[in-house]
Chains A and B, each alone.
Chain A
């Protein structure tokens, strides 16, 4: 089955700096890669996703990149703000199948 590894497990950045979270996956048939943000006591919320026919996708301050050959994908947050502090999960799935989640990255944005 699919295996998703996520690094780092914790990340602390100063407000205004960039943050990068990286994930690798094992199943070459996976074609869908979402990212979720979970604030304390809340549900995971989908913030951005990318499909395997695209190498990069951007939405304001967040962007995802995908390298199918190397089987890794990354989340980039620019100009970080305190409200970006949360746990971020990457995930991967084959078509019409379940998501396999990474173990999460706790991002702390300090003033």
Chain B
């Protein structure tokens, strides 16, 4: 199994632009998680899905952030418009009940 796949691995954009991060979970996993990691705030859970349904989005910082999971093998996290304070590493993770595995992350830099 290829593990959790994320794209792009690096993204550099200018303030105000739309950013879309993509994730393919491990086949057979029914839960998907989006995290953000920075030095200042550590590892934060943004949102998670069970069976493609959003369960808890209380970590989404504001309306500029949105996430979708149209099917069991794909999810997106969108930031529109992006701001410099959104610069971070964004991880996607997936799990069957129990063990959770992280993708390689997307390093986002907003100038």
Which residues on A are within 8 Å of B, measured CB to CB?
Answer: 32, 34, 36, 42-46, 49, 89, 95-96, 98-99, 101, 103-104
Tally of contacts, chain A with chain B, CB under 8 A: 38
Q: Do B100 and A43 touch across chains, with their CB atoms under 8 A apart?
A: no
Which residues on B are within 8 Å of A, measured CB to CB?
Answer: 31, 33, 42-43, 45, 48, 50, 55-56, 91, 97-105
* Chain B residues, Cβ within 8 Å of A101: 42-43, 45
* Chain A residues, Cβ within 8 Å of B105: 43
Given contacts A98-B33, A98-B56, contact A44 B102 (CB under 8 A): yes
Instruction: Identify the interface centre among A32, A34, A43, A95: most chain B CB within 10 Å of its CB.
Output: A43
Please measure, in the bound complex, the distance between the C-alpha atom of A49 and the C-alpha atom of B42, giving whole angstroms: 21
Please measure, in the bound complex, the distance between the C-alpha atom of A98 and the C-alpha atom of B91, giving whole angstroms: 15
Q: Do B48 and A98 touch across chains, with their CB atoms under 8 A apart?
A: yes
